[in-house]
Structure 1
Amino acid sequence: MIPGAIARLGSVADVPPELRGAVVAVGNFDGVHRGHQAVLEQARAIAAAEARPLVCLTFEPHPRSVFRPDKPVARLTPAPMKARLLQMLGFDAVVEQGFTRDFAGLAPEAFVGTVLVQAMGAHHVVAGFDFHYGARRGGTPQTLAEAGRHHGFGATLVPAFVDEGGETVSSSRIRDLLAEGDVAQAGGLLGYRWTVAGAIVGGAKLGRTLGYPTANMVIEPDSLLRHGIYAVRLRRADGSLHDGVASFGRRPTFDNGAALFETFLFDFSGDLYGETVAVSLFGFLRGEERFDGAEALIAQMDRDAEEARAMLASATPLGDLDRRLAF
C-alpha cells in the first residue's frame, strides 16, 4: 500500500489492531454526496479531536441489490470510486463488508456485539438520522445510542442534510437527475462533478474516420445516465487533466449497437488503450441523434466541441472534492 493510501478491507474480520478503537462512520454512502459528507465530516471531526483512527464501514454489494436481485441498484460510486472519495475526505480505511442474506439476518444486538464491538472495537459510531441495521431493519438510531451506552462506545446520529431548496439530498434524487442528463444539478447535490472511472476499451474506431478519435469506456448499467453528448474532463493515471466532449449511447447514425461512453479529447494525440482513467461530467449538451450522413454528424460534432470548450473554460470547482477530482 502506498503511503497515505486508504486501506480497503473486505470484512470486519480483517480490521488490524492499529485500526481498532477507531471512530467508525457506518452506512452505504453510495454517491458520497453532500448528505453523506455531513456524516463523514462529523466522524472526521471526532476522530481528530480524540486522536483516533478514522474508518468507514460500508457494504458490498448494495443491500437492496441482495434483496431485489432482479432490480439491482444502479451504483453512483462503485467500491473503488467510493474508496477514492473517502481517502480524499481523510479516512484511514474503508471496510467493504460483504453483504449476504446471512449477514442481513444478524439480530440488531448481534450486529452491534459482533461487528462494532468485537471485530472493530469501535470507540465512537457515527451514522445518518435514518440508519437502520440488523434483521428486518430492527436496529434504529435510538437502539444504536442505547447500545453505545451499554457497550461503552459513543454514538452520534447526524440530521438530514437539505439543499438550498429545502429538499433532502439523497442518492435516489441524484440517480433521477443523471437519468435525465442533468449532470449539473447532480453535481450540485454531490458536491463534485459526477465521475466515472474505468479502463479504456477498444471500439469500432468510427471516430477516427470522422476526425474525432475517441477513448471508450463502458458504463454499467447503461440506463444510469441519459444517452447524449456531454462536456467532460478526463484525468489520466499520471494525474494529468484533459478537456473533451463525450458521447454516451448506441451510435444510431452507424450501428445502434451496445452503449459506449466515447470521449474525444481536445488537442491530444496519445494512446490510452488499457489505461484506467476517470472522467468527470460538467454539462449536458444535447440528446443522442441520428444524422443523415457523416457530413451532417461532423458539422454537429464541431459545434459540440466548441460548446464544450466554452463550458469547461468557465467552470469553477464546486468544493474541495471537485477541486481534487477535476481541477
Structure 2
Amino acid sequence: MRLLHTLAELATLGRPVHVAIGVFDGVHLGHQRVIREAVAGDGVAVVLTFDPHPMRVLAPDKAPPLLTSTPHKLALMESLGPDAVLLLPFTREFADMLPETFLQQLAAPAHCLRRICVGARFHFGHNRTGNARLMERLAPRLGYTVTEIPAVATPDGETISSSAIRQHILHGRLDRATAMLGRPFSLLGTVEPGDHRGRSLGFPTANLNLHNEVLPPDGVYAGRVGHRPAVVNIGLRPTFQHATPRRLIEVHILDFSGDLYGQDLEVALIQKLRGELKFPSADALQQQIRADIALARQLLG
C-alpha cells in the first residue's frame, strides 16, 4: 500500500481512481463499508483521510480522544486492501477551503477520478458545508460519480459511530464496542522500560506507552497479542506505593519470553476479568495473578 501526502500525487496512479474519504477514527464497520466500496471498483482504490483529527484544529477543547492513532489507523486500513492512502494534513487553511475548491483540486490531478465514496454523515469544507449532495451536483462537470454509504447499525439497531464506540469503551462495554468495530477493541503502544515489578513477582510484563487515547475502566483484562493469549492490567497498581501514581498499561503475554523494548505492540482486549484491587502483600497479589492467568486461559482457549 502506497502512502501519499498531497493531492498532486494522485496523478501518478494512472488508472481510474476510486477514492473513499473520511476521518475514519477507529475504522469501524461503517468505515469499512465505505473503504471496501472503493476497493471493489475497477481501478485504483485510494483512502483519503486526515491528520490530525479535524476537531484538533477546529475546536481543540472539544476534540474527542482518539480510538486509533494515525499509524494504527493506517495499519487497519491496509488490511482492507486499498492500493494507497492519501494522508492530508488538516490545517486551518484547509478547513477554510470552499468545498467546491476541494473537489476541483481533487479531480484535477486525478484526471482519471472515477468515483468518490463517502458515509452519509460526511461533511467537509468551509463551515462543513460540503456533503454528498454537493458532490453529486458537481459530478457531471468534474467527471466522477458518487456513492453514499448509509449509516450502518448493529443487529439490535444501534447506529455505529466513533462517538458511540468511545462511550462504550469508556464505560467498559467491550462487547458493544466489538460489535461496532467488527473486531475486539485494541490498544497500540510502544514497549518501554518499567520498574520490573512484574518480573520480580514472576510475571514479566511489557509496559506500553500508548498511541491511542481511549481506555476502558481500570482493571485486569483477558487479551491477545497476535495469536498469543495475554493478561492486561490497566491502572495505578494500588498495592505498591508511588509518590506520583500514574495509569499504566502492563501486558503479560502467556508462554512468551523475549525482548520487546522499543517495539510497537497491538493488544486486543477480549474480556474484563476483574476490577483493580489493593492487596495486603506481594504474595497475595501473586496468588491473584495466577488465578487471573488461569481464567484468561479458560476464556481464550
- The residue aligned with 1:25 is 20
The aligned residue for residue 247 of structure 1 is 233
2:170 paired with 1:179: yes
Q: 2:108 aligns with which of 111, 118, 133?
A: 118
1:74 counterpart SS class: coil
The one-letter code matched in structure 2 to 1:303 is: A
| Match status 1:101 vs 2:92 | yes
Q: 1:10 aligns with which of 5, 8, 14?
A: 5
**C-alpha RMSD of matched pairs (Å):** 1.7
- Between the aligned partners of 1:306 and 1:185, the Cα distance in structure 2 is 25
Tell me, yes or no, if the aligned pair for 2:69 and 2:212 is still in contact at 8 Å: no
- Percent identity over paired residues: 39
Tell me how far apart the structure 1 counterparts of residues 239 and 22 of structure 2 sit (CA, whole Å).
44
- Paired residue secondary structure (1:70): helix
For residues 126-169 of structure 1, give each alpha carbon's deviation from its aligned partner in whole angstroms, at most 9, with x where no partner exists. 00111111100111221111111221101111111111111110
Per the normalisation by structure 1, the TM-score is 0.86
Residues 10 and 267 of structure 1: CA distance in aligned 2, closer, same or farther (over 3 Å): same
Would the alpha carbon gap of residues 34 and 222 (structure 1) be closer, same or farther in structure 2, given more than 3 Å must change? closer
Unaligned regions of 5+ residues in structure 2, if any?
none
CA distance in 2, matches of 1:26, 1:228: 37
Whether contact under 8 Å (2:69, 2:211) holds in the other structure is no
Q: Which amino acid aligns with 1:299?
A: Q
Distance of aligned partners of 1:288 and 1:14 in 2 relative to their CA distance in 1, 3 Å threshold? farther
Match of 1:297, SS state, is helix
TM-score, scaled relative to structure 2: 0.93
Q: Deviations over 1:187-219 (max 9, x none)?
A: 121001122223210001111111111011022
Which consecutive residues of structure 1, in runs of 5 or more, have no partner in the other structure? 1-5, 236-240, 314-327
Q: Which amino acid aligns with 2:240?
A: F
Where 2:179 maps in the other structure, the secondary structure is helix
* Cα displacement string for residues 90-148 of structure 1 (whole angstroms, at most 9, x for unaligned residues): 1011111100111000011111111x212434210000111111100111221111111
Is this contact kept in 2: 1:218–1:259, CA < 8 A?
A: no
Is 1:305 the equivalent of 2:293? yes
Q: Aligned AA for 1:305?
A: I
Partners of 1:136 and 1:302 in 2: how far apart?
55
Q: How does 1:282-297 map to 2 (within 5 A)?
A: 282-297=270-285
Is 1:268 the counterpart of 2:250? The answer is no
Letter of the structure 1 residue corresponding to residue 276 of structure 2: E
Q: Which amino acid is 2:170 matched to?
A: A
Distance in 2 (CA, whole Å) between partners of 1:205 and 1:61 is 34
Among 82, 85, 89, which residue is 2:73 paired with? 82
Alignment: residue pair count? 298
Q: Does the 8 Å contact 1:59/1:98 carry over to 2?
A: yes
The answer as to whether partners of 1:8 and 1:93 remain within 8 angstroms in 2 is: yes
